[in-house]
Structures are given as structure tokens and as C-alpha cells.
Amino acid sequence: MSRVPVRPAALGATALAAALVLAGCSAGGGSSNSSSGGPTKTLVVDNTFDLKTSDPARAFELTGSIVDKAIYETALTFQGDDTTKPLPQLATFKESSDNKVLTLTLNGKHAFSSGNPVTIDDIVWSYKRVQAIAGNPSFLLTDQSTGKNLDIAKTSSTTMTITDTNPNPALPFILPNPSLGVLDSKVLTKHGGTTTKSDGAEQYLNGHSAGSGPYALTSYSATTKVVFGPNPHYVGSKPTYGRVVLQNVTGPSQKIDVQGNQAQIATGLNAQQVQGIGSSLKVLKSTSPDVGYLWLNQNPTYGKGVTNNAAFVTAVRKGLNYQDILAVAGTGSSQPGGMVPSQFLGSIKPDATNTYDASAAKAALTKAGYKGQTVTLSYPTDATLSGVEFSTLAQKVQSQLEAVGVKVKLAGTPISTLLDAYRAGKLQAGIMYWGPDFPDPSDYTTFSPGEALGLRAGWAASMSPEVTKAKQAAEASTGTGRAAAYEAWQRAANQNGPFVPLLQPARYFVTASSVTDVKPNAVWTVDLAAIK
Amino acid sequence: MTQLDERAETAARASRPGGRLSSPLVRYIAIRLVVSLLLLVGVTIVTFVLTNLVPASPVTAALGERASSDPKIVAAFKAAQGLDKPLPVQYAIYLGHLLQGNLGTSIQTHDAVTQDLAAAFPATVELALFVIVLSVIIGLGLGLIAALRHNRLPDQIIRVVSLLGISVPTFWLAVAVYFLFFFVLHWAPGSGRLDPADTPPPTVTGLFTVDALLAGQPAVFFDALSHLVLPGLVLTLYTVGLLVRFARSAILDVLSQDYVRAARAKGLPGGQVVFRYVLRGALLPILTIVGLAFGSLLSGTVLTEQVFAWGGIGQYAFRAATALDLPAVLGVGLIVGVVYIATNFVIDVIYGVVDPRVRVG
């Protein structure tokens, strides 16, 4: 082909120059650093969103709890990261001697962002709305054993009662949940809010604040960012930051954001990502209240005569090298002794039942009559345990069990498909996690024979009477005897049950050096208003 | 029919009342519109069936551990989402709502899907427009250089660069580019569509750059423009890689045509030959690939949007799919279908404008 007499280099240069001028113009315009200049101090917090709504009565996600904690006050609260002691916020509380009646008394004067005062009617209305909507958090105000709604009643202009038919000593630990945030009933009723299942205030609440918390919503998007401004009528200490941006960013980008001061706090980094993050940043390490556990199905149909063998369960417990698993999960992770996380009342330390002993594991396998059958281990492929990949944990479990002679086949599936089979109790074995609904050991008795989580592992009500008895004793316990009762229940479950607690992963917050008072909390992750 | 006969027929059509283009083009557009509508119905059926074939329940995906164990809550959720009805009835209800412009309520965001799409789609459109403009300029330029310098050093370099653009994994490139230009060099702003300290302009189009100009906010305009650069660069590298290869090939074809040789033989200047004859002749295949690339960009670029926290249709689709948010998945499926159908339609119309033979056909 002959050459066309044209100047292609000049032509290309023109095209490139045009593109670069366009890019150059735009690149020059923005600022690479946002944060805290100007009259209003802005705090940018990176979070990987699971946000669905900011309506407290419908929200029960981690991001939702951060949002609602900032906007709404609750009757009771916790201080900082201490979830062992409920404290008054909108109300003081008193429990009856039988733990069936909790009396709330209005605690001083509080005001909603509308300027309306918080009344006892607002608290009653908000709780009844939670019950009526029957959303994710409605179980917080139901009796755990009967499933019936707790009775909520106004008893005077400043007092109300919450009554359960069974002792409910966990209630003071449940009420600080941001899902039980108190709403401005006068404003809400004008925007479709009711205490019936036909409530239509959610859309309003996803764009406006109706709370008495330190912040009010400036803008809201469940997929990109939530921006908060001050609540002018908040009666507590004024937050340090006049504007907070909570934005949806994935883990790797969070790291770059916080390194480049695009964000001042990153909440979604794992152990690997915080390594070498830089000395100009602070890494706050705490233990996550999430418990990763392994289960072995006790239903003969799904256990296939292998996992539903008590000696086989013992072999697995003894065959796992827990310290090795913690090493995979990264520094800061710890081994819980039972299903109750280490930071809650009634937690236990690991004992002989869940300590690595290869020879004991092999002996138990012989006792079980194990003949080399393959055990299928299911796990979610698209979820992490505070940043720790389930596939990594599953591979580690597989290699450890194969070292003592158990054949394991890994079966990773997306969590949305895994959950169906898991909840139906049809999986032979697997790895999953449980995050706390409220910081009380009674949240964990569901890991008992015949209970919801127990049944997922084929652990029928009749199977381990000693565990059932210990669980009933724990649930009936009150006062100082509760811790010992829940400890006894977990020891019984470790002796006889199909659940093997593996780890509580570390949780990392990375912050700019200028940021202080970031306190990880098991209930609401982090209190934005407390950050300085 | 000879070429002369065709010209005569064309002239006869043009002389008839109704104008030169109207009858064949209008008929063509009408047929395409009907086909497009049928395609859209097909898209809804396929998406609906596929999302319901997934071996998982949206109830399980949406409700928490406690709530999913409570029959009362599960029943309330199913009733609210219409999941308590047989599948054909669910589809009929969906279609009925669709005709009224109602795509249902997202399980993930609890907002109307139309509202979610209205928020996410402009973000993707803005990015896609930025990328396609840059890509066409650069891709066409480089493709032209490569063709004119066929088998010489510039051609080899451009081919390697375009191959790299296509081959480098987007997720890696996006993180690497973000790290380098934002954190190391400080040449570009961070993630998102605006600086976190900035407030978006009043919404008119949803395109922050346009809305900022309409609102007379130049600082916000430049901020929005600067945030387009890094995600735009990542996507442009890929799109340019694609365009260069097609442009080069199409231009090489045209360069060997008789009429180009004739133009050169007549002594026309090189630039005139290239711009008047070569580029025009190569335009149709290039238009096709530009259309497809634009459609692809408009359908969402999941990985790039994830890394840059862009909040576009790709990020929305990803979250909807992983959470089994059926109304949102259906909404995204529909909008992607509309995008491709509309893009193809526009390209076909441009064909007609660029090449008279298409009009006649």
C-alpha cells in the first residue's frame, strides 16, 4: 500500500492534545482534600454500606445502626464501648423483682429536631410502631420464647411500662438498640406514621429527621452517602463536627481514601489492609462481637451417619487447631470459649472441649467408626467475617481436619443461595457467623436444641436434654446468677452440641491522627457524635 | 438493478410528494419501534424468569436471622413484596405496574426502583459521555495514525498500547490508578462524584457538571469534572483499546479502495483525502463499535464504579444482584435493554444519514 501524504503524527498529537486539555481542565478544578476546612468542620467516614432504610422501625443493618444512632435517642443507652451497663438516656429504668415489668420514667427534657419536646407518648408510640410494622427489628419487643408482643403501656405523663409474660432481664440491654430510636410522633402522624401495619412514614424518614439525637439528616442515599448536620434542638453536648459524611466505599478504596485524607475514618478494613497503612494514621484494634462458628448437622438425613455421630463431633472439635485459624484471621482475633462473645456477660474461655489435640481427635474418629466418608463443608463465598474471607477459613478447616483423617469437600456458594438451605437445616456441615442482636447472652440461646439456630444444625429439641435444661436455667436466671447460668449452658453445649465456636475476628478502624474518641460499639458500630 | 437504475429509482422516490426521506425512513423507524417494544417485553420476561430461577429466596436474602424465623414477619414481607402470589400473577402485576411507570420498590433501598434508577443512571450517563468523547477522539486519532503508518513503528506501538488497554483487568487498573494519581501524586481528587465537603448542585439533569453550570456554580462544575478524570481514564483506556483496533482495520480497508487511489491520483492534498474520503468511508464500522461501547458504558461499569464509589447503575446492579433484590434487578435489566435498543436505533438512524444507500434500502 502506498503512503498517503499526510502528517499523521500531527493529527494524532492534535487528538491527544484535545483529550489531555479536556482532562487537564477538569483535573485542575477539584480539591484532593476535603475534610475539615471552613467554618463547619466536616468529618468523612468510609463505610461499606448495607444500608436499606433510616427508619428505625425497619432498619436492622450495621450501617443503619450508625445512621440511626446519630439521629435518634433511645430510652436507654450505653457509654462508649461498654455494653455491659445500660444507662438512662431519654428515660431512667427500673425492673420488677421478677424481671417481667420494666418501668421507664422520662429523664429530663429532650427535644426533637422539630422543636417538639420528647414525651412519654412518643416513646410508647415509637415502640408500638416497631411492633406493628413487623419488620426486621420487631423481635426486639417480643417475647423470645412465645413470639408474642411485649405489652407497652403509658402509666402516667412521665412513666410507661413494658411487660413480658416471662422474665426478661435482657430488656435493658435491648432498649439501647438504635432500631428502638424514639420518633417525633406529632410530626410522623402528619406524614403517614401510624402504629398499625399500614404505616407509611418510611419514605418521609428516608429524607427527614424526626429524632432528638445530636444530628439531623441533611441528605440520604441508601447506596452512596448519608450527610448529617446538627440538630439545633439537641440538649446534649454539641458534636465536634458540624457536618458528617458517611459514604459507601469498598475496602481497598477506603484504605486509599484514609491514606490520602479523603476520609478521616475507614471502618471496613481487614487485618491485611491495615498492614503498612502508614505512621500518620491511627489503627484502632478491637475484638468484633461477631462469632464465626462451624456446625455439624445432627439430623441423620443430612448428617448421613457421619456428622450426627457424637464421637465424630468430638473429633472435629479436637482436630481443629484454633490458634492456627486465628493466625489466618489476623492479629487481634480471638477464640471464644462458647457462642457468647468475649465482651458480653456469661462468656467463657476455651477449655478442654475446644482445644487442639490431634491424638484425641484420631481416637475419637476411631470411636466414631469413621470410615473415610467425605463431609461437605458449606460456606458463603461473597461474605466476610469482618474482612476475613470464609473461603480462607474453610480451606484452613479442611486442611486441619484432613490432617487428622477427615475427608472434607468444600462447597462455597453465594450467601443468598446458601442461606435458604442453611435455614432449612439441609446442609451437612458448614461455617457461618452470628452477629449480636443485643449485647446479652440470652440472644445466643437460639443455639440450643429445638431453637431456630439449633434446628439449622438438625439439633432437635429431644436430642440433648442436659443442654435444654441448662438453657432453661439460664433463661430463668436473674441478677448476679445470670453469668454463671449462661456459662454452664455453654459448657453443656460444648460437651454435647453441634456448634464449634471458631473465632471472633479483629475489627479495625483506621483514623486520621487528628481524630479521637472513636469507640467501636457492639450495638451501633460507632457513635458519630462522640468523635472528636 | 444497475447503479444507474438505483439512482433513477432514488430520484423518482425523491420527487414523489412526502419528501426525499420520509416514506422509507419513517417506515423503517416505525418497524424498528415496534420491534423495540417487543424486545422490551422479551427483556422483562427473560429477566423475570431468570431472577426467579435463582435457587434462593428473596425473603431469606432480605430478612435477618431472627425475622426470617418468625412466620408473622415472613408473611408480612411476602405480602408487601407480592411474593405470596403465583409467579404468572406476579409477572402480570409487574407488567401492569410497568405500564404505569411503576417498577416496584427495591428490597435493598426501600425506595421506588424508578427513584433509585433516576438517581443512579445520570451518574453513569455522565461518566459514559465523558469516556466516549475522550475515547472517540483518542481512539480515532490513534487508529488513523496506526493505519497510515501501517506496519511501521507507530503502528506497532499503538497496537501494543491498544492490546494493553483491552487486556489489563479493570479492577486492578482502577485501584492502581486511584492509588497512583490520588494518593501518591495528588494529581486527582478522591472517590465519589464530588468532594465530600461539596454539596451537589440542584438536580435538573442529574449530571453534576451540567447541573452545576445551569446553577451557575463554577467551583462545583470543576469539582465534578475533576472527579470524572480517574474513573474516566480507566474506562477510556479500555474503550480506546477497542476503538483503535476497529478504526485501524476499517481505515486500512478504505485506504485500499479505488476511489481513494483516484483521489490521490487527482493530486488532492493528503489531509483532504483522509478527512473527506477515508474517514467518511470508514465511519460505518467505527460507528457500530462506538455505539456498542457507549451502550456498554451506559449499562454500568460495575468494577470501576465500585472502586471510585461512583454510585451509578453498575454499583446499584451489583448490590441488587447479590442481595436478590428482584424489583431492582428487573429495573436494571429493563434499563439496560432500553439502552442497547436505543443505542442501536440511534446508530441505525445515523447510518441512514451517513450512507444514502441505507436510506434507499
Nearest CA distance, B213 vs chain A (angstrom): 14
Pull the grid cell for residue B181. 494519581
Burial of B16 (0-12, 13-18, 19+ CB in 10 A): exposed
pLDDT string in tens for chain A (532-residue length): 334 444 444 444 444 444 344 444 443 333 333 444 446 789 999 999 999 999 999 999 999 999 999 999 999 999 999 999 999 999 999 999 999 999 999 999 999 999 999 999 999 999 999 999 988 999 999 998 888 999 999 999 999 999 999 999 999 999 999 999 999 999 999 999 999 989 999 999 999 999 999 999 999 999 999 999 999 999 999 999 999 999 999 888 999 999 999 999 999 998 888 988 888 899 999 999 999 999 999 999 999 999 999 999 999 999 999 999 999 888 889 999 999 999 999 999 999 999 999 999 999 999 999 999 999 999 999 888 988 899 999 999 999 999 999 999 999 998 878 888 998 999 999 999 999 999 999 999 999 999 999 999 999 999 999 999 999 999 989 888 999 999 999 999 999 999 999 999 999 999 999 999 999 999 999 999 999 9
User: From edge to edge, which strands make up the β-sheet containing A42-47?
Assistant: A215-220, A225-230, A243-248, A42-47, A265-269, A506-512, A281-287
Closest CA to A268 of A45, A453, A102, A114: A45
Chain B positions touching A382 (Cβ under 8 A) are 322
Burial of A156 (0-12, 13-18, 19+ CB in 10 A): exposed
Q: What is the DSSP letter of B278?
A: I
Q: Quick one: closest CA in B to A134, which residue? A: B73
Q: State the CB neighbour count (10 A cutoff) for residue B216.
A: 9
Q: State the CB neighbour count (10 A cutoff) for residue B286.
A: 20
Distances (CA, A) of B325 to A159, A352, A417, B56, B72: 42, 45, 13, 11, 21
Nearest CA distance, B350 vs chain A (angstrom): 23
Determine whether the interchain pair B307/A27 forms a contact, defined as Cβ–Cβ distance below 8 Å: no
Distance CA A313, CA A322 (A): 15
Pull the grid cell for residue B103. 417498577
Structure confidence by residue, pLDDT tens digits, B95-122: 888 889 899 889 889 899 999 999 999 9
Sign of CA dihedral A419, A422, A426, A428: positive
* Closest by Cβ to B270, choosing from A6, A55, A434: A6
Q: What are the b/e assignments for A326-348, b being 16+ CB within 10 Å?
A: bebbbebbbbbbbbbbbbbbbbb
Burial of B10 (0-12, 13-18, 19+ CB in 10 A): middle
Where would I find the beta strands (DSSP E) of B83-167?
none
Distance CA B65, CA A291 (A): 14
Q: Which of A37-46, B78-87, B228-237 has the lowest mean pLDDT?
A: A37-46
Which amino acid is residue B171, in one-letter code? F
Dihedral in degrees, nearest 10, Cα atoms B163, B169, B170, B174 = -110
Would you state the pLDDT for residue B358? 63
- Judge whether A256 is closer than 8 Å to chain B, CB to CB: yes
Pull the grid cell for residue A194. 401510624
Stretch 184-223 of chain A: residues touching chain B, C-beta under 8 Å: 197, 202-203, 206, 219, 221-223
Instruction: Let me know: does A128 contact A139? Beta carbons within 8 Å.
Output: no
Nearest CA distance, B252 vs chain A (angstrom): 9
* Closest by Cβ to A197, choosing from B76, B200, B236: B76
* Closest by Cβ to A416, choosing from B67, B219, B323: B323
Distance CA A527, CA A58 (A): 20
Determine whether the interchain pair A257/B191 forms a contact, defined as Cβ–Cβ distance below 8 Å: yes
Domain borders along chain B are 40-102, 111-359
ipTM exceeding the 0.90 mark? no
Angle at B226 between CA A207 and CA A260, to 5 degrees: 80
Closest CA to A83 of A288, A298, A351: A288
Stretch 362-391 of chain A: residues touching chain B, C-beta under 8 Å: 382
Would you state the pLDDT for residue B248? 94
Structure confidence by residue, pLDDT tens digits, B238-275: 999 999 999 999 999 999 889 888 888 888 888 888 88
Q: What is the DSSP letter of A442?
A: G
Coil vs helix vs strand at A11:
helix
Closest CA to A377 of A291, A307, A327: A307
Coil vs helix vs strand at A73:
coil
Would you state the pLDDT for residue B10? 47
Helix or strand holding residue A202 (H, E): helix A202-205
Which amino acid is residue A32, in one-letter code? S
Angle at A81 between CA A78 and CA A85, to 5 degrees: 40
Which domains are delineated in chain A?
19-268+508-530 (3.40.190.10), 291-504 (3.10.105.10)
Distance CA A170, CA A344 (A): 12
How many Cα atoms sit within 13 Å of A360 on the Cβ side? 14
Q: Quick one: closest CA in B to A452, which residue? A: B69
Distance CA A404, CA A359 (A): 8
Distance CA B291, CA B283 (A): 12
Instruction: Let me know: does A319 contact A458? Beta carbons within 8 Å.
Output: no
Distances (CA, A) of B52 to B39, B47, B86, B324, B334: 20, 8, 11, 9, 16
Chain A positions touching B157 (Cβ under 8 A) are none
Which amino acid is residue B174, in one-letter code? A
Determine whether the interchain pair B64/A136 forms a contact, defined as Cβ–Cβ distance below 8 Å: yes
Q: What is the DSSP letter of B222?
A: H
Distance CA B247, CA B232 (A): 21
Determine whether the interchain pair A30/B63 forms a contact, defined as Cβ–Cβ distance below 8 Å: no
Q: Quick one: closest CA in A to B63, which residue? A: A136
A248: β partners: A47
Distance CA B214, CA B221 (A): 10
Of the pLDDT bands very low, low, confident and very high (cuts 50, 70, 90), residue B23 is: low
Best residue in A6, A21, A62, A254 to probe B by mutation, most B CBs within 10 Å? A6
Distance CA B215, CA A33 (A): 24
Task: Compute the average pLDDT of residues B293-305.
Answer: 88
Angle at A291 between CA A290 and CA A295, to 5 degrees: 145
Coil vs helix vs strand at A486:
helix
Write out the DSSP string of B247-268. Answer: HHHHHHHHHTSHHHHHHHHTT-
Instruction: Let me know: does A262 contact A44? Beta carbons within 8 Å.
Output: yes
- Judge whether B169 is closer than 8 Å to chain A, CB to CB: no
* Closest by Cβ to A260, choosing from B108, B109, B190: B190
Dihedral in degrees, nearest 10, Cα atoms B59, B65, B66, B72 = 10
**Is the domain covering B111-359 a CATH 2.60.40.1730 domain?**
no
Angle at A166 between CA A165 and CA A169, to 5 degrees: 125
Determine whether the interchain pair A29/B226 forms a contact, defined as Cβ–Cβ distance below 8 Å: yes
Q: What is the DSSP letter of A443?
A: G
Would you state the pLDDT for residue B22? 57
Determine whether the interchain pair A28/B323 forms a contact, defined as Cβ–Cβ distance below 8 Å: no
